[in-house]
């Protein structure tokens, strides 16, 4: 809670994937998207789970599993 990730992490040297639930209130999707936009990475992708909140891997399990296989492995 005390770390400002916008200041602490401006760049990473690995690919990053943000899987965000559109209705997430534990991790604000608006703030997460802003962070995604500002961070530099060799490859980055943001994927929205429109029917999910904080637990997209359970709430949209089929989509999550497919994306993990297709994009991350």
- The mean pLDDT values, 10 residues at a time, for the chain of 73 residues are 91 96 92 96 96 96 95 76
pTM: 0.86
pLDDT of residue 72: 73
**Burial state string for 14-46 with b = 16 or more CB within 10 A and e = fewer than 16:** eeeeebbbeebeeeebeebeeebeebeeeeeee
């Amino acid at each position: 809670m005390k770390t400002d990730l916008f200041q602490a992490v401006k760049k990473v040297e690995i690919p990053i994937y943000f899987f965000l639930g559109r209705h997430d209130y534990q991790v604000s999707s608006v703030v997460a998207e802003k962070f995604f936009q500002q961070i530099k990475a060799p490859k980055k992708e943001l994927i929205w789970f429109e029917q999910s909140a904080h637990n997209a891997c359970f709430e949209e399990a089929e989509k999550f599993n497919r994306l993990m296989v297709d994009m991350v492995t």
